[in-house]
Amino acid sequence: MVILGGGPLGIEFAQMFSRFGTKVCVLQSSERIVKREETELANLLQKYLEEEGIEIYTKTEVKSVFQKGNKKIVKASVNGKVKNL
């Protein structure tokens, strides 16, 4: 599952679905998740979530979303490199 946005709600849903057993990837356009919180807190939270198995990409830009067979694919620029997620 790809979640667009690393704000409080996006992070809450990411953790919930991850704990249900879903592979989760969070795409955040800014340099860090929960950008309204203190930088140190945001960094600790990201580390904790990644240890739980959630992939988090910051500084991303979604290029397109398309379906290939039964899969939906999000094409995004991650730190200047285009990835299919």
Owning domain of residue 42: 2-60
Domain membership of residue 77 (yes or no) is no
Domain membership of residue 32 (yes or no) is yes
| Strand bridging mode 60-68 / 71-78 | antiparallel
d(CA 21, CA 44): 22
pLDDT in tens, the chain (85 residues): 999 999 999 999 999 999 999 999 999 999 999 999 999 999 999 999 999 999 999 999 999 999 999 999 999 999 889 999 9
Amino acid identity at 19:
R
Q: Please give the order of strands across the beta sheet that includes 55-57.
A: 2-4, 25-27, 55-57
Q: How many separate domains does the chain show?
A: 1
Domain membership of residue 80 (yes or no) is no
Amino acid identity at 68:
K
Domain membership of residue 6 (yes or no) is yes
d(CA 79, CA 41): 22
